[in-house]
Each structure stands twice: as C-alpha cells, then as structure tokens.
C-alpha cells in the first residue's frame, strides 16, 4: 500500500510555562463578546498558540457574530466565515486548496496552519457529519476546534446537543408542572470522534482555565499533521447564568468535579492530563458536583434529588465506564433512574 | 440530491463572489424517487446570484463549461455558474464529442486570479463578517450589478469562442429553430428540443407553421431579447420541465418568467404553459403536436387554458 502523501507541518513545540508564551496577539480588540466570555479567550489562546502563519475559518455562532462586525475585525490572521454545519468541509477544503496552490506554484511552498472552529450547535449538532468526514482524510493538515458553551448562546441560549441534563435554556424553561425540561444527557463528542476515526491522529479535550495546557494541545494538534480535533469547554456567563468574574473558576470546577475530563488521544494512545489525571490516579479527590452546579443559575431549579442524580451519573462515568471519563460503554447494564 | 444537501454552501457561494462552475445533472427531487430529469433542483438557486444555463447535448455541455468558467471568473462578474444537463438523457448516455486542443482552451480561458480576495497569511483579510442591516443592501447591490454585467461578458465569451474554436452558437441566450416564418413557437430548455424539432418538421409538412425557441441562459434572463423575439408570433407555448405549485396561473417557472419578461412589450401574444416530461417522462412527438394544436387555436383567437399538464394519465 502506498503511504498517504502528507504535507509538512509547522513544528510548534509546547510552551514550557506561562512565562515562555509570546506576547504577540493575533486575536485582539474589535470584538464585542460578553463580559467574562471564555470562548473569546479560547479564540485568543488558539491563535496565540498557532502563530501568524495561520488561516482561521469560523462557523456561524457567537465567535462569528460577536467577533467580526463589518468595518472591524479582531483577527490579525486571515479569517473567513463558514456556514453553521461546514467547519469540517471548510477546514478540509482550505487545506486542500493550499496544497494545490503550492503544487501549482501559485503560492510559496510553506506549512500554513488551518484551523476551523465551530460552536456546540454548529459542531456537535449540525456539522457533526462534515467533521466526521473531514477526519477521514489523513492527507490534509487542519485542526477543528469546538468551543462548547453548551447552548446556542448567540441566538439567546437555545438548547443544543451539548446542553447538560436539566439545564434551564429558552427551550427548556423549568416550571411548576414540570421541573426538568431537558432530560437528555450531553453528547460525548471527543470520545466519539477519537473512537471512530482511525485516520485522525490527535483528539483532545481542553479548558481555557488551564491556558498553557490548552495552548499546548492546539500546538500539538497542528504539529502532528492530518486532521485533528480539540474540544474546549467554555463557561458562558449569559447561558450558564453566573457572575462574569467566575468564568475561570467554573472551568476549574468542571474539571475538578469530574464533569469535564481533560485528556488527549494521540495515535490511539489515551493520556489523561492536569487535574483529571490526579483524580484518575486517586492523588486528588473529585469535588462534589454540587459545587459546580450551585454557582450557575441554569441549575437553580434543581432539587437535592436532581443534584444527587447528576452526581450519580458523574460517579458512573468514573466507576462504571469501560474507559472512565472517555468511553461510555458499560460492562453491565444498569437501570437509569432520573428523579421524577 | 447532493445539490440540495449542499444548499447552505451553495447559498453563500455567489454572496462570497466565488466563481465556481457546477455541472448539475438535473434530476427529480425526492420524494417520490425518480432518476429522470426535472429542472427544479437547479432552479432552486435562481434568486441567489448563481448564473444558470441549460444545454441540449454533450458537445454543448463541454463548450458551455469552458464558456461558463470564462464568464464566471471574469472579474467584472465573479459569480458562480451552474450548467443544467438533463439527468439520465445527457448524464447517463454516451456520445462522441470534439475535445479542443489545449492551446485553444488556453487562448480562450485566462488563468484564474483570485486577486486581493486570496485567503493567505500574506493577505490577512477577514471575509464575510456580520454586516447586519447596516451594509447588507449595498453588498446585495454589488451582486445585482455583477449579474447585470454578466450579459455583456456572456456575449463577449461566445464571440471569442466562435473565433477560437470555430463553432458559432449565434445568439448566446437562446437558439431559434424554424422561427423565421412561424405563426406560433414553443419555448423550452434542455434536451426536449429533440422531440420538438422532429415534431416541427412533421407539422411543417401539414402546413402548420410552428417554431422553437430553446432558452440557454436562464440567469441572467434574456428579458428584452426574448420579449423582442417572442412578440413576433401569434401565440407562445412555454414547455416547463419543472413545477411551481401555487405560482400565478399554477404555471411552471419558465412560463412565469417569460410572461413577466413579456409584460412591458407593446405586443403580447397569448402565452400558454405546458408542464410535461417530469421525472424523466418522455416528451413525445404526439405531445408536441397536441401542444402546437392548442397554440394554433390560441393564435386563431380561441381561448385556451393558461396551464396544461401534457402526457399525464387522466
């Protein structure tokens, strides 16, 4: 079998500590995201990690509407809008176009980073099939970054496939007759993409509360080559309903409570990192999920039973899953009993 | 159906001024399933800034592909172009075509230059930001002006094509067949010109003066040109290989457009719409004869239905 023809990538070594991170910004002023927006921070860190020789493609969502208003742009690197469900196609297509333009001698031969980002609605709902298709093409280098604020936040907090169980959204408002309007569990996107795409060499989950580790995952994804995927959990003051000053803390709470495991899968090898690794190796204890939930208005209607159920599901994720925190396949069948 | 699946991307293509050329094998939209031709798939983009052209045979498909690239990639236009090829009849049949030598194509078709719109780190632009009501109308107007300029560029391209390739299509926008002395004409797009031409030759022997106007370019629409030509006849019958449920007089898309184009004319003959050949059903010679007879009656002053489904089981 002939080897797949791959193009060279930029060699982006990990930043060894926050003091080694360059000062240059490629996502700067000119945007109008909400106060405390973690997704804007993710954008900033993402291009800081990738450097100036980068093309960014943005699916419709908060990071389109709020960042690029005509006559102003916060992007220092070339940026182009793509459609809600098209981040996979846009990343693949741009990478392929660069390759062919270089082959024809129309542009200088050099490794150019291609990053296509999407929100949870665009990536995990509408664009999942395009992302899946893109991840089957090892001959093109690009990263798909999913910034997950757990709702369609830009259009006023509608429920998405990544909205957690029970959360209050405009599509699932709790009421007197029915307290829990959203009874579906969040999709496991990174796990599913890692498990199902043998040509994809790198999948990671990140949280911008751990900024250097997050940037290093982006750098790794761009260096390793081929199609790669990074899933970032982004606390959202508007959608999660909390004081904007708590964004950083909520990211930490999500990780420390075990709700958001940090890991990367490189060439099929799973590695937990950061606090998640400590939890898995029993060096540190998972904090109660209640600590994470109680700070957010979207869970204000939760009774003790609801919190217990949420805790039970997170416990299950760490004790019953075949690969704890990552692959939700159980060895034994148990009855799911959400509170009435 | 892939065309419909890509609709979100197809919508932004003209808005982003991406001059791609799409060969659309017109096929009936699901449901119910059919492999044969219907023009509704390509017509679905008619209002979005796509140029649309229909071809009659394989040679014209090849020639039109070259012309379409030339027109689309002209910086005065910079709009995408879809070439409608009747599904099954053209897409799943084989015939010999003349492949032009590379140097002719090079002489006709300049290299594509994206210019200052190239997305590259050396050209750090932001493409398609959110403009809202502040600027949307102005940007739409750019596309409108580009589509208006397209007509002129199409004329130039066909003239150059005739000069370089030695094949002259005459009027780029529509083909006329036996119209010089015709009393009535049929108007249609795509492969149905074959049975229509055969039927016209037979009817001519019976003394019925019928002609054909086969429309090539649907966008930009040859409004003035068609109105000038069609006003010469006593009745016009538009054959629609498409449907537009609930449209004016429940006609097809082409008939509605032809009527709109004719309205400013001083002389407006009766315009009948014939819906036929949907889902790849054959448009037969007797079908064409029946349509022509209705037209001749309309020309003689007899009232005829504005829309008729032809070749349908009663």
Q: Write down the pLDDT at residue A188.
A: 96
Q: Sketch out chain A's domains with CATH numbers.
A: 18-329 (3.40.50.970)
Q: Write down the pLDDT at residue B77.
A: 98
Q: Write down the pLDDT at residue A2.
A: 57
Tokens of A130: 């395009």
- The answer to whether A236 and A37 have CB atoms below 8 angstroms apart is yes
Residue B102 pLDDT more than 60?
yes
Query: Average pLDDT of B275-304?
Result: 97
- Nearest-CB residue to B130 (from A70, A75, A77): A70
Residue B113 pLDDT more than 90?
yes
Burial class (CB in 10 A: 0-12, 13-18, 19+), A320: middle
Burial class (CB in 10 A: 0-12, 13-18, 19+), B287: buried
DSSP B235-251: EEEEEESS--TTSGGG-
Query: Average pLDDT of B136-154?
Result: 97
Q: Write down the pLDDT at residue A4.
A: 67
Quote the CA–CA distance of B244 and A217 in Å, as a whole number.
52
Quote the CA–CA distance of B297 and B314 in Å, as a whole number.
22
Q: Write down the pLDDT at residue A1.
A: 47
Query: Average pLDDT of B231-257?
Result: 98
Chain A hits for B118, Cβ within 8 Å: 107
Cβ contact B124–A78 (<8 Å): yes
- Nearest-CB residue to B129 (from A73, A76, A83): A73
Q: Write down the pLDDT at residue B70.
A: 98
Chain A hits for B119, Cβ within 8 Å: 55, 78, 80, 94
Chain B hits for A56, Cβ within 8 Å: none
Query: Average pLDDT of B144-161?
Result: 98
- The answer to whether A292 and A257 have CB atoms below 8 angstroms apart is yes
Q: Which residues of chain A have pLDDT under 50?
A: 1
- The answer to whether A218 and A145 have CB atoms below 8 angstroms apart is yes
Radius of gyration of chain B (CA): 20
Query: Are β-strands A79-82 and B126-127 bridged in parallel, bridged antiparallel, or unpaired?
Result: parallel
Residue B110 pLDDT more than 90?
yes
Q: Write down the pLDDT at residue A142.
A: 98
Residues in chain B: 314
- Quick one: which of B123, B121, B114 has its CA closest to A113? B121
| pLDDT tens by residue, B189-205 | 999 999 999 999 999 99
Q: Write down the pLDDT at residue A72.
A: 86
Query: Average pLDDT of B71-89?
Result: 97
Interface of B with A (CB under 8 A): 8-9, 12, 118-121, 123-132, 134-135
Cβ contact A112–B119 (<8 Å): no
Q: Sketch out chain B's domains with CATH numbers.
A: 2-165 (3.40.50.970), 174-309 (3.40.50.920)
3-state class of B122 per DSSP?
coil
Total CB pairs under 8 A between chain A and B? 60
Instruction: Output the furthest CA–CA distance in chain A (Å, rounded).
Output: 67
The sign of the CA dihedral A193, A199, A205, A206 is negative
Residue B15 pLDDT more than 90?
yes
Cβ contact A76–B124 (<8 Å): yes
Q: Write down the pLDDT at residue A3.
A: 61
Burial class (CB in 10 A: 0-12, 13-18, 19+), B314: exposed
Q: How confident is the model at residue B47 (pLDDT cuts 50, 70, 90)?
A: very high
DSSP A293-314: HTT-GGGTT--HHHHHHHHHHH
């Amino acid at each position: 079998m002939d080897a797949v023809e791959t193009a060279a990538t930029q060699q982006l070594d990990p930043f060894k500590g926050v003091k080694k991170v360059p000062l240059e910004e490629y996502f700067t002023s000119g945007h109008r995201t909400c106060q405390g927006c973690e997704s804007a921070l993710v954008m900033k860190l993402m291009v800081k990690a990738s450097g100036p020789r980068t093309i960014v493609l943005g699916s419709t969502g908060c990071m389109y509407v709020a960042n690029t208003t005509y006559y102003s742009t916060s992007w220092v690197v070339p940026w182009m809008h793509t459609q809600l469900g098209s981040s996979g196609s846009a990343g693949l297509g741009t990478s392929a176009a660069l390759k062919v333009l270089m082959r024809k001698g129309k542009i200088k031969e050099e490794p150019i980073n291609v990053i296509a980002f999407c929100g949870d609605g665009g990536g995990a709902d509408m664009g999942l099939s395009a992302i899946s298709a893109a991840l089957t093409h090892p001959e093109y280098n690009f990263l798909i970054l999913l910034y997950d604020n757990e709702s369609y936040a830009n259009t006023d907090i509608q429920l998405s496939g990544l909205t957690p169980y029970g959360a209050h959204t405009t599509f699932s408002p709790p009421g007197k007759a029915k307290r829990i309007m959203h009874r579906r569990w969040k999709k496991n996107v990174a796990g599913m993409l890692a498990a199902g795409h043998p040509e994809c060499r790198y999948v990671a989950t990140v949280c911008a509360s751990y900024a250097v580790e997050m940037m290093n995952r982006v750098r790794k994804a761009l260096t390793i080559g081929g199609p790669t995927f990074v899933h970032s959990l982004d606390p959202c003051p508007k959608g999660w309903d909390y004081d904007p000053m708590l964004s950083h803390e909520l990211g930490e709470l999500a990780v420390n409570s075990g709700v958001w495991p940090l890991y990367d899968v490189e060439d099929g090898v799973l590695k937990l990192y950061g606090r998640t690794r400590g939890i898995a190796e029993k060096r540190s204890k998972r904090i109660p999920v209640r600590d994470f939930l109680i700070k957010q208005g979207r869970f204000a209607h939760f009774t003790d039973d609801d919190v217990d159920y949420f805790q039970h599901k997170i416990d299950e994720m760490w004790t019953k899953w075949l690969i704890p925190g990552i692959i939700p396949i159980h060895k034994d069948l148990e009855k799911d009993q959400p509170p009435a | 159906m892939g065309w419909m699946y890509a609709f979100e991307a197809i919508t932004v293509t003209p808005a982003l001024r991406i001059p791609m050329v799409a060969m659309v094998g017109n096929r009936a939209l699901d449901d119910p399933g059919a492999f044969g031709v219907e023009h509704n798939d390509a017509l679905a983009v008619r209002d979005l800034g796509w140029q649309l052209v229909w071809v009659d045979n394989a040679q014209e498909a090849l020639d039109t592909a070259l012309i379409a690239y030339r027109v689309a990639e002209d910086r005065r236009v910079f709009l995408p172009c879809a070439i409608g090829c009747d599904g099954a009849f053209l897409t799943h049949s084989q015939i010999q075509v003349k492949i032009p030598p590379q140097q002719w194509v090079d002489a006709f078709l300049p290299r594509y230059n994206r210019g200052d719109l190239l997305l590259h780190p050396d050209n750090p632009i932001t493409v398609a930001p959110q403009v809202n009501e502040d600027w949307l109308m102005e940007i739409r107007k750019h596309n409108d002006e580009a589509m208006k300029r397209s007509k002129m560029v199409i004329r130039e391209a066909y003239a150059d094509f005739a000069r370089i390739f030695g094949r002259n299509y005459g009027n780029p926008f529509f083909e006329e067949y036996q119209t010089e002395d015709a009393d009535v004409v049929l108007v249609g797009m795509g492969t149905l010109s074959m049975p229509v031409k055969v039927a016209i030759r037979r009817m001519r022997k019976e003394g019925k003066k019928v002609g054909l106007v086969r429309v090539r370019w649907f966008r930009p629409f040859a409004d003035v040109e068609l109105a000038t030509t069609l006003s010469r006849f006593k009745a016009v019958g538009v054959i629609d290989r498409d449907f537009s449920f609930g449209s004016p007089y429940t006609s097809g898309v082409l008939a509605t457009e032809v009527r709109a184009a004719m309205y400013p004319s001083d002389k407006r003959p009766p315009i009948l719409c014939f819906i036929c050949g949907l889902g790849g059903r054959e448009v037969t010679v007797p079908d064409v004869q029946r349509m022509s007879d209705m037209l001749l009656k309309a020309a003689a002053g007899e009232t005829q239905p504005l829309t008729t489904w032809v070749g349908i089981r009663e």
